[in-house]
A and B are shown apart, each in its own frame.
Chain A
């Protein structure tokens, strides 16, 4: 207690040293006076009295020193002095300090931002708000396949019942399946993420509700269809007003809101129970289907262990359930049922891999920044050999010098993390729109700490090594260390620059290629005036019309729409505006030969009306469909550029191939009559796809696109009126604009590409800084040598060549390695992202040229400086 008190008092004393010093001076002075007075009284002469007092005290400065040591905390004070001195030394080298802090800060900011995104989208608990997570288990139906020992398979309602009944170790089991829903509130349609859940879903998880509750146990006792909405949905679309009892339309059906779940990260906005599953589920022909009759789909099962039951018991029971599932569905083959503790905070392996690949690029930039910082630190510590020698000669212990260098590194790292924190918020703002999740991405303290520690370690690793080496080489009192460049040190630095050039080229080349791909894809989504184009979706399925009557109704709808005074162009397609692509929009084709090997499944949208104008599709070659093409089964097709390139080597016009419905019916030959640049996002196809003049098989869902004449606008009310004219029963699922529609589909990998390009440019600048640092260092190391060369008659141009040659080695090796890395990356990414060549030679060559130019610029200044070295000045030194 007393010791703690003393330590605190000593700590406090550090803050008012000056006043306490004055106090000490006064006390010692007072002591002298009292002693001298005494001595005088004892009859001493004044001189003698004073000398006696000093002797008795045992030295004034020694006393004060001992006193001060006792007063403060000497170790801490020495540390503070080192920090102070390191800060001053960094301030006196503003170029070095700014460079290192900027480089490390940029790398850290990118990493911090990326970690934050991953943190918010991947590592967020998947089931926020669930109570007693430790008794929750996840149950999955797996199948052994050739590719992976266990892959989760789709399951049916019967499988769910078998799981529920066959595992007494679980007190309850719930089922969850993701669906897309169209919700309309006061006539405003919204496309949202939804979930189809078993009635007990919220009870099993113990979900917290802001207001209301989950679904009532007995579906038959419900007066109305029930729906649960998320807090986010409630706030955003119902304005946070009283929600329970409010009616909303989900996929066209009126439903009653019974509960609002408490605020939780990402996840669905709308939950509907099994008894209304037909609102979301469709059979192979696109007709609504009840859950019991629906084909297998992807279900997530979550249950609770009964009290006293263990997970091992549940697993034992699971194996007999697996046999039951096999007997329900013999075609499934051998399945297994897994029971695992529900991981609420960690993502599955797949998403972890995604996160890692997402993080890899910022980490590379951070690595480059660290290498650069290390390179500059190396140069600095070598240049300071004289300073170390002086400090050692003055009696500073070696460890103290090493500590001092470490403090400098730490200060740099701290500056960099401060900068990173400042930078990462704007970076997050920039990338936010590209993220699939609309959740606010927040800076995570763990992320910041992680990055700070990582940079700190790097700063230490690279600061410590050279410091220890430089200090240990310096001998006290001996000759000052050699000013000549240290060969091994230079080799390290050359290697560092080479690695950087490699990384820069790889990032630039891959980024360049991405940009090309995005430009091509942007051309595809380049849609004229999307805000003016009205899009409406229809589903004739509830009317139960026979196919010919339905086709006739749609034909009349198209004709009627064209009569609207403001409409310039109208088109109908069978690709719905939300939800998955229906089976009817997929066809099998045999472009090259009729064997199974030549078979492909591709998107084939049928378009009627003026698709070129309404959907803004651009014909590259050939012609559009004529009325005669639209009679009977389709005989002619328009393919997109991707299909023409992939299947017909670029020349598709006039080619004939076989085509059949997805299930293999009506196989017949078709001829390519036209090629469009792209079907773009309007028909949701970046890959090979084609257009058909008439439906290959009946699809009850259609989408109507209306482009107004210039200067006019089509409003939804006019459209609704027109639809009522044709048939008042004809339901409009949704009316929206093309702009809203295009905005829903997240730009493919655009965020990642923007990031790669940005980081590539950053990496290039960092490499340039690295090369500049290396050459400046070499020039300063070789100043004397260059001076002698100049004195012996070397031309300035020869000196410049000497320095440029130093740069050529790392840049040359880096270019070769970088090209290799870029091609490898391209091969890996090809399968993941764009259907392009492993590496575009133009992109690689372009990136190399840019790199060489920038590196040349970086080398120019040090080379010029070297060529201007005046031998007279240099030789007069020392």
Chain B
């Protein structure tokens, strides 16, 4: 099955949501987790992940610190800040609304 690219502007939300669920994770882990969550239907260009993480960090939604992975590798771990948690809630709500609206357009008309 061909993998779908990540839609414009949704990568940040996916990262935030992943970190909200998992808590503490390194970049590679976040990417894999997103792929797994999508049931391997999404293909992430790992090269775009790091600038996205950097942007979230600059905006204060995530923080990072160096740590050690389960298999003994040194890795930079990210986690949500309080502002990040609020942002997840906000973005999720906005996304729900968008999809709901879009769904109304795409749903077969009642009574037709």
Contacts and interface: CB of A to CB of B under 8 A. Distances in A.
Residue of B55, B58, B69 ringed by the most chain A CB atoms within 10 A: B58
B59 A2 contact: yes
B54 interface: yes
A588 interface: no
Interface string A725-764: 0000000000000000000000000000000000000000
A24 B27 CA distance: 12
Interface in A49-78: 56-59, 62-63, 66-67, 69-71
Contact of A57 (B29, B32, B46, B60): B46
Interface string B9-31: 00000000000000000111100
A28 B26 contact: no
A623 B22 CA distance: 117
B73 A37 contact: yes
A37 B69 CA distance: 12
A48 interface: no
B2 interface: no
B59 A58 contact: no
A543 interface: no
B112 interface: no
Interface residues of B, number: 24
Contacts of A353: none
A27 interface: yes
Interface in A25-62: 26-28, 30-31, 33-35, 37-38, 56-59, 62
Interface string B29-45: 10010000000000001
Interface of A: 2-3, 5-6, 9-10, 23-24, 26-28, 30-31, 33-35, 37-38, 56-59, 62-63, 66-67, 69-71
Nearest to B64: A27
Contacts of B47: 57-59, 62-63, 66
B26 A34 contact: yes
A27 B55 contact: no
Given A34-B28, A58-B45, A58-B46, A10 B58 contact: yes
B44 to A, nearest CB: 8
B9 to A, nearest CB: 15
A72 to B, nearest CB: 10
B50 A34 contact: no
Contacts of A30: 26, 28, 73-76
B51 to A, nearest CB: 4
B98 interface: no
The 9 closest A-B pairs by CB, nearest first: A58-B47, A63-B47, A6-B58, A70-B51, A34-B28, A9-B58, A2-B59, A57-B46, A30-B75
A2 to B, nearest CB: 4
A34 to B, nearest CB: 4
Contact of B46 (A3, A37, A56): A56
5 contacts: A30-B26, A57-B46, A58-B47, A66-B47, A66-B50
B46 A31 contact: yes
A67 B26 contact: no
Given A6-B55, A66-B47, 13 more contacts: A2-B59, A2-B60, A3-B59, A24-B50, A27-B50, A33-B73, A34-B26, A34-B28, A34-B69, A58-B46, A59-B47, A62-B47, A70-B54
Contacts of A24: 50
B17 to A, nearest CB: 18
B59 A6 contact: yes
Interface string B49-70: 0110011011110000010010
Given A57-B47, A70-B51, A31 B28 contact: yes
A63 B28 CA distance: 14
B48 interface: yes
A66 B49 CA distance: 10
Nearest to B83: A2
Given A26-B74, A28-B50, A56-B46, A70 B55 contact: yes
A66 B71 contact: no
Nearest to A8: B58
Given A6-B58, A66-B48, A66-B51, A34 B76 contact: no
A5 B59 contact: yes
Contacts of B59: 2-3, 5-6
Contacts of A5: 58-60
Most buried by B among A5, A23, A59, A63: A63
Contacts of B55: 6, 70
A71 B46 CA distance: 17
A67 B75 contact: no
A63 B26 contact: no
A825 to B, nearest CB: 64
Contacts of B58: 5-6, 9-10, 70
B48 to A, nearest CB: 7
